[in-house]
Structure 1
Amino acid sequence: MRTKFSSELAALTDDLARLAKLARDAAELAMVAVADANLTVAYEVFALGEQLQLAYGACENRAVLLLALEAPVARDLRHVVSAIQIADDLSQIGRLTDRIAETVVRHYPKPIAPPDLLATLGAIGSSVVTLATAAGHTITDRHPVPPAATGSADDTVPQRVQQLLSTVTAAEWPHGSATAVDLALLAHHWERCTAHLIRIGRLIQFFHTGVPLSADPE
């Protein structure tokens, strides 16, 4: 029985790794779609989003069955509970990248921002992709994520978001309120992706150490 349970836990981790790859790929393609005003790539983001939500449902079902039928305790319980929460965070990232792609589609064939702000959005998106890549590696390697792996991106993304918001809310902003709102929402979507990925890092730490998310990160 223990061998079967261990096999199911390993399969749950594999499910998470697949979710993390889909979320990472969706974030990267969303970044490209924004930068290039690329309609084809935007629709690829939608396709990945559909795959991600299907994979999320399968992962959630596996985790619930493990809780209901195996009654795990201690470390194994942390494994399953952390997996459920990580899967939900990855699902939310898929929904956020869909919204980013929707903005590209709505503006097509025009770019969604002037070149200088496209560069800022690209830098924000690149930070998110870096975080998503690190999260995927950490899940696959089954090792705790070092705090330094998330700290720099956690600092950088809000700074760039604030820079963008300051630009689009300035009195001399020349591109209209509708564009300003769209760009503010895009920045918000990327920032929410970052928050989910930071939380995933802390959930992985919780699994390995038992330190709850409410504890102050070092």
Structure 2
Amino acid sequence: MRTKFSYELTTLSDELAQMARLAHEATERATVALTDTDLAAAFEVFALEERLQAKHANCEDRSVILLALEAPVARDLRHVVTATGLADDLFGIGVALSRVADAVVRRHPQPVAPPHIIPLLSGMASATVELATAAAAAITSQPPSPDLAPTPRDRTVEHLHRQLLRVIADTSWDYGSAMAVDLALLAQQYERCAAHCGRIGRLIRFLHTGIPLSAQVDH
């Protein structure tokens, strides 16, 4: 029974590593779609989200199998709980980026934003790629490394989001309320990606320390 448990746990870790790579790739392709108004890249993001959804379902099923095999010790239980949370967050990144890609498709062949807004969105996209890179590196290392994990202290996306909101709320905004709402929603998707990456870092620290996410302190 223990051998079966170890096998399923290793397979679950492999599934998570694949999800991390897919989520990272999605951040890169979404950046290309956004900055270059690239329709092909946008559709690649849709395809990556579908693959993430399938992997997410696999991880959920395997987690149930692991819990049903035997009463796991505390460390094993933390591993399964962490894996379930990681799968949720990696899939959440895919969902958020799919909405970014959808905005590109809807606006095509026009850019998703006026020229002076593109640098703000591009900055958010680049910061998200960096966070996803850290998340993938942390998850794919064996065992998952808290030293490589993204930190919730990174506020780059949040700061750029605030800048964007100030611009679209200014009285000099000449592009209409519909465009302003679309841009606010678009920026929100990147905030969600950053939040998922930050939670991934907390989950990996929980795996190693047992400290609940809500009790962790950012240094």
TM over 0.5: yes
Q: Spell out, residue by residue over 1:55-107, the C-alpha distance to the aligned partner (whole angstroms, 9 max, x if none).
A: 11111101111012232121110000110111011111111111111100100
* Worse-superposed segment, 186-195 or 24-33: 24-33
Deviation at residue 215 of structure 1 after TM alignment: 0.7
Q: Distance in 2 between matches of 1:115 and 1:16?
A: 38
Deviation at residue 116 of structure 1 after TM alignment: 2.5
Q: Distance in 2 between matches of 1:207 and 1:81?
A: 9
Residue identity opposite 2:28 in structure 1: E
Q: Distance in 2 between matches of 1:95 and 1:111?
A: 21
Q: Spell out, residue by residue over 1:182-202, the C-alpha distance to the aligned partner (whole angstroms, 9 max, x if none).
A: 110010000011001100110
1:1-218 aligned within 5 A: 1-141=1-141, 142-146=143-147, 149-151=150-152, 154-218=154-218
Deviation at residue 149 of structure 1 after TM alignment: 4.1
Q: Is there any run of 5+ residues in structure 1 with no aligned partner, and where?
A: none
Q: Spell out, residue by residue over 1:162-216, the C-alpha distance to the aligned partner (whole angstroms, 9 max, x if none).
A: 0011001111101111111111001000001100110011001001110110114
- Provide the identity percentage: 54
Residue identity opposite 2:210 in structure 1: G
Task: Assess if the C-alpha contact under 8 Å between 2:150 and 2:197 holds in 1.
Answer: no
Residue identity opposite 1:190 in structure 2: Y
Residue identity opposite 1:16 in structure 2: L
Q: CA distance change for structure 1 residues 149 and 59 in 2, over 3 Å: closer, same or farther? A: closer
Q: CA distance change for structure 1 residues 18 and 148 in 2, over 3 Å: closer, same or farther? A: closer
Q: Which has the higher helix share?
A: 1
Residue identity opposite 1:150 in structure 2: T
Q: Is there any run of 5+ residues in structure 2 with no aligned partner, and where?
A: none
Number of aligned residue pairs:
217
Aligned residues: CA RMSD: 1.5
Task: Assess if the C-alpha contact under 8 Å between 2:138 and 2:148 holds in 1.
Answer: no
